[in-house]
């Protein structure tokens, strides 16, 4: 027999325990999943009004112990452990996991979610991300990060309640290709800096990183069969600084890192123009047979490969063969822009032959819109940046377009006349201008069916360090990411700017040096 006094003690301990549990998981404000500030905006959101609390006993469950699921769970744990301080063990489970956990599963998702879509279900008991492919789980994880308090992005332990509003999100992208281009030629950026770019853009579901690896001012990747390209052609950069290049080992490390973030690297070797670094490294590539000087200025359009020499095609083949062997994705970018000193009758057969070389290597050629002056091979993609006429030529040949209209997507343009870095040739691009456009209606004759996606381009003539990369990229990139991900009927600047304003706390937690545009109601 339990004594009355003992019984009442047990009851009061239980009541206190219940109260404590509630306090430790009590939201300060009512929770409504539909009022959250997710960027890019998800397709459908339904709220239940309750919430999930991530506690220190939570584990991350996966439906089976595959390397694929383990590594994505490890990624999620890596994002959540520093700020929560929780162990967040990873465990396999058959059936549904118990209360208080996160569950990642590749079964049960709707086929209509495709390869990149996901459903995220938040109940009081469990957070479940379901997808058809791990890319979808990764995207669901990015949404989950944004539903947690912004301090989840801090690198030290935060004393906070980790609430997530209840409900269900189902989401998939409007376009399969959502990219950012980084020019590592005009100024060189290290492996660590490029990794940080990958970290920051993948938050916004960007899934391609186009690396502009060669230009007049520098050659940035080791090619073993043509060693002087990196050794000599990589020596300097705009302004005469020391430049640099990636060894093949370092480049491979970047590809691996990007792959783990579901970002496909698209390497570009720009040709036949924008080739001074190569022309300075190998005399044979020049029409004159004489090597040029290294170049540290910012002019464009003055250089050309000798398109009539066979050695040039040996060079192209060797370079692309080595690059292809280090490339996990389908694309090799062949450049093709601003070849102002290549005669048109030489330019056309050149870009046609280079496409054939890329295709023979089992890869898909992409080139700037000028390549549509020649015959585009089936599958080749033209990247629209300035000429609607060229873009239409590509479409009339049945080719697909990657949309990078300079007046919207060139994030090396200044925000306004007071921006200290950046160019103005494509106009000033305030945050609303980068957001307020629809790839499918931008140019007459170019519709959704012609477009694989969008890409923001960051040229670096005026950019010398990571802080400057961040300043021009944020906050325009989240908006461009939404242009690529969210269906256009869901997009609206006045609603978007409120969501964006709420990302200031996340930018701060991630230590992003962003431009605090006056058009955005920042909530710090």
**385 touches ligand TNX (CB under 6 A):** yes
**Min CB(335)–ligand TNX separation in Å:** 8
Q: Smaller CB distance to ligand TNX: residue 210 or 506?
A: 210
**Min CB(360)–ligand TNX separation in Å:** 25
**Min CB(202)–ligand TNX separation in Å:** 24
**Min CB(21)–ligand TNX separation in Å:** 57
What phi and psi values does residue 444 have, to the nearest 5 degrees? -60, 140
Alpha carbons 103 and 130: distance in angstroms, whole number: 8
Compute CA distances 64 → 67, 135, 334, whole Å.
9, 17, 41
Alpha carbons 274 and 337: distance in angstroms, whole number: 8
Inter-axis angle of helices 248-260 and 191-202, nearest 10:
10
Q: Smaller CB distance to ligand TNX: residue 297 or 521?
A: 297
Residue 319: exposed, middle, or buried by beta-carbon count in 10 A (0-12, 13-18, 19+)? buried
**412 touches ligand TNX (CB under 6 A):** yes
**Min CB(406)–ligand TNX separation in Å:** 6
244: left (phi over 0), alpha (psi -120 to 50) or beta: left
Q: Smaller CB distance to ligand TNX: residue 153 or 461?
A: 461
Interface with ligand TNX: number of residues (CB under 6 A): 10
Q: Smaller CB distance to ligand TNX: residue 246 or 459?
A: 459
Q: Smaller CB distance to ligand TNX: residue 131 or 371?
A: 371
Out of 300, 361, 440, 490, name the contact with ligand TNX by CB under 6 A: 300
Out of 138, 347, 410, 485, name the contact with ligand TNX by CB under 6 A: 410
Give the number of other Cβ atoms within 10 Å of residue 244's Cβ: 17
Kindly name the residue from 249, 338, 389, 449 that is annotated as catalytic: 338
DSSP state of 376: P
Q: Which of 226, 211, 113, 125 is nearest to 170 (CA)?
A: 113
Residues 321-360 that bind ligand TNX (CB under 6 A): 337-338
**Min CB(519)–ligand TNX separation in Å:** 23
Check whether the bond before 222 is cis (ω within 30° of 0).
no
**459 touches ligand TNX (CB under 6 A):** yes
Q: Smaller CB distance to ligand TNX: residue 74 or 338?
A: 338
Helix and strand totals (H; E) in the chain: 16, 17
Q: Smaller CB distance to ligand TNX: residue 252 or 301?
A: 301
**Min CB(181)–ligand TNX separation in Å:** 9
**Min CB(295)–ligand TNX separation in Å:** 13
Q: Which of 261, 206, 193, 276 is nearest to 463 (CA)?
A: 193
Answer whether 228's CB lies under 8 Å from 285's CB: no
Inter-axis angle of helices 344-360 and 310-325, nearest 10:
40
Answer whether 376's CB lies under 8 Å from 358's CB: no
Check whether the bond before 475 is cis (ω within 30° of 0).
yes
Is residue 338 annotated as part of the catalytic site, yes or no? yes
**Min CB(444)–ligand TNX separation in Å:** 22
Helix/strand/coil for 406: helix
**423 touches ligand TNX (CB under 6 A):** yes
End-to-end Cα, the chain, rounded Å:
59
**93 touches ligand TNX (CB under 6 A):** no
Out of 368, 415, 485, 507, name the contact with ligand TNX by CB under 6 A: 368
Alpha carbons 260 and 140: distance in angstroms, whole number: 15
What phi and psi values does residue 90 have, to the nearest 5 degrees? -105, 125
**437 touches ligand TNX (CB under 6 A):** no
**175 touches ligand TNX (CB under 6 A):** no
Give the number of other Cβ atoms within 10 Å of residue 140's Cβ: 29
Compute CA distances 3 → 8, 11, 14, 401, whole Å.
9, 12, 17, 80
Q: Smaller CB distance to ligand TNX: residue 313 or 423?
A: 423
Q: Smaller CB distance to ligand TNX: residue 162 or 368?
A: 368
Active-site annotation, residues: 338
Residues that bind ligand TNX (CB under 6 A): 300, 337-338, 368, 385, 410, 412, 423, 459, 461
């Amino acid at each position: 027999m339990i004594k009355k006094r003992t019984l009442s003690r047990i009851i009061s301990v239980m009541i206190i325990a219940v109260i404590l549990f509630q306090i430790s998981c009590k939201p300060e404000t009512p929770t409504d999943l539909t009022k959250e500030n997710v960027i890019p905006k998800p397709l459908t959101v339904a709220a239940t009004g309750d919430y999930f609390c991530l506690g220190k006993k939570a584990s991350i469950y996966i439906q089976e112990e595959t390397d694929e699921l383990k590594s994505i769970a490890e990624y999620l744990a890596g994002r959540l452990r520093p700020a929560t301080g929780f162990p967040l063990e990873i465990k396999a489970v058959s059936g549904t996991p118990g209360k208080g956990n996160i569950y990642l599963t590749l079964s049960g998702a709707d086929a209509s979610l495709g390869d990149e879509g996901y459903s995220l279900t938040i109940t009081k008991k469990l957070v479940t991300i379901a997808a058809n492919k791990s890319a979808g789980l990764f995207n669901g994880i990015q949404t989950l990060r944004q539903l947690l308090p912004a301090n989840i992005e801090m690198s030290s332990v935060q004393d906070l309640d980790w609430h997530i509003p209840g409900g269900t999100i189902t989401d998939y992208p409007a376009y399969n290709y959502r990219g950012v281009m980084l020019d590592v030629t005009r100024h060189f950026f290290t492996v660590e800096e490029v990794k940080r770019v990958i970290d920051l853009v993948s938050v916004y579901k960007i899934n391609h990183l186009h690396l502009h690896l060669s230009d007049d001012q520098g050659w940035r990747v080791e090619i073993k069969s043509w060693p002087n390209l990196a050794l000599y052609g990589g020596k300097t950069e705009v302004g005469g600084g020391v430049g640099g290049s990636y060894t093949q080992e370092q480049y491979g490390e970047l590809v691996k890192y990007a792959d783990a973030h579901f970002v496909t690297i698209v390497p570009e070797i720009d040709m036949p123009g924008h080739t001074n670094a190569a022309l300075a490294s190998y005399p044979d590539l020049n029409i004159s047979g004489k090597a040029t000087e290294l170049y540290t200025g910012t002019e464009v359009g003055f250089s050309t490969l000798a398109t009539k020499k066979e050695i040039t095609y040996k060079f192209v083949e060797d370079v692309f063969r080595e690059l292809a062997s280090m490339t996990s994705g389908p694309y090799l970018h062949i450049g093709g822009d601003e070849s102002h000193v290549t005669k048109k009758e030489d330019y056309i057969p050149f870009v046609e032959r280079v496409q054939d070389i890329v295709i023979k290597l089992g890869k898909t050629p992409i080139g700037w819109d000028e390549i549509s002056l020649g015959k585009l091979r089936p599958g080749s993609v033209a990247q629209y940046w300035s000429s609607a006429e060229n873009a239409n030529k590509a479409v009339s040949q049945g080719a697909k377009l990657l949309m990078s209209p300079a007046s919207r997507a060139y994030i090396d343009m200044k925000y306004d006349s007071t921006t200290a870095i950046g160019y103005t040739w494509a106009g000033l691009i305030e945050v609303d201008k980068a957001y307020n456009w629809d790839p499918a209606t931008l140019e007459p004759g170019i519709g959704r069916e012609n477009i694989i996606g969008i890409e923001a381009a960051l040229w670096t003539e005026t950019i010398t360090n990571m802080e400057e990369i961040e300043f021009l990229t944020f906050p325009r990139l989240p908006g461009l990411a939404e242009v690529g991900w969210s269906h256009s009927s869901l997009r609206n600047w006045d609603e978007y700017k409120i969501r964006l304003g709420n990302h200031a706390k996340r930018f701060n937690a991630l230590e992003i040096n962003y431009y605090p545009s006056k058009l955005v109601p920042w909530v710090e």
